[in-house]
Amino acid sequence: MKPARRKSLARWLADCFDISERRACWVVQLNRSTWHYKSQRDEQVALKQRIREIVETRTRYGHRRIHALLQREGWPINHKRVYRLYCEMGLQMRHKTPKRRVKAKLREDRQPAKRQNDCWSMDFMADQMFDGKKLRVLTIVDNFSRVSPAIGVGYRYTGYDVVRTLEIAIKRYGTPKTIRVDNGPEFVSKEVDLWAYANGVTLDYSRPGRPTDNAFEVFNARVRQACLNQHGFSSLEDARSKIEQWRDDYNRKRPHSMLGYLTPLEYAVEQPSEPDDTQQIGQIFADCLA
């Protein structure tokens, strides 16, 4: 047992059973000098703050480069301490720019969407038809208004299929600034990358092993509970028709508690995408609502 664990156990025995310090240490085989020892280590607040400042300005630097910079500035530390603090602060992320033309966000704290088309979320779901054939469902939702611009359905989904669905979505509701996606093969494909580059869209990729980075899963839950679990699909056309009917009902008729019990389209009309695009965006969603 580690000394720190023994120390905490000895203190617990002394407090709970009202025994002396000497007896408590004897029971857990702890040296009394360890009982009285107080760590001289400071909280290293200044060092942590400096590491965070370096990470915010030099997003591609890992712990080794950060250690080199700190040594140049005169910090008397070794690389092991830098690595430990680097991990404690949750900065251990990929420091290479992904091989994409679109600039991925690195180490940025995500802010809530402030207006329409500020940020979309995109994810895949799975279902099956009566005959057991697998279906893939691509869900897209606006993180601000909760409008679903499009839902794609197919037996299989490639990067080309994702681009086709995105083209349908932006024709209906405009082009988003950012789309949050995971690291699935369809989303990291060259086709999606080129589409995002051509349309000026930033692909905000989740960190590997961190599914909560794209945490707008509540919409997927609604699709699962209110649509996929409620219907049986006899063919691909039948699935597309029923899912599209549900999407239209969700956007136009379903009151959303987070939007003051307005429907997503009603809320989108009241909250235009950009202050200088009030007329244009308002007209787009008014047409959809009509």
- String of b and e for 26-41 (b: at least 16 CB within 10 Å)? eebebeeeebeeeeee
Cβ burial of 217 (10 Å; 0-12, 13-18, 19+) is middle
- Identify the weakest region by mean pLDDT among 137-141, 152-156, 180-184: 180-184
In the chain, what is the greatest distance between 2 CA atoms, to the nearest angstrom? 81
Cβ 117 vs Cβ 142: under 8 Å: yes
* Prediction pTM value: 0.60
Per-residue pLDDT reduced to its tens digit, 73-120:
998 889 999 999 988 888 876 545 555 555 455 545 567 888 889 999
Q: Which residue has the higher pLDDT, 98 or 191?
A: 191
pLDDT-based confidence at residue 278 (cuts at 50, 70, 90): very low
User: How far is 117 from 75, CA to CA, in rounded Å?
Assistant: 45
Whose CA is closest to 93, among 214, 215, 213, 197? 213
Classified as helix, coil or strand, 181 is strand
For residue 152, the surrounding DSSP H or E stretch is strand 151-154
Average pLDDT, the chain: 84
Per-residue pLDDT reduced to its tens digit, 29-67:
989 888 888 776 666 888 899 998 888 877 767 888 889
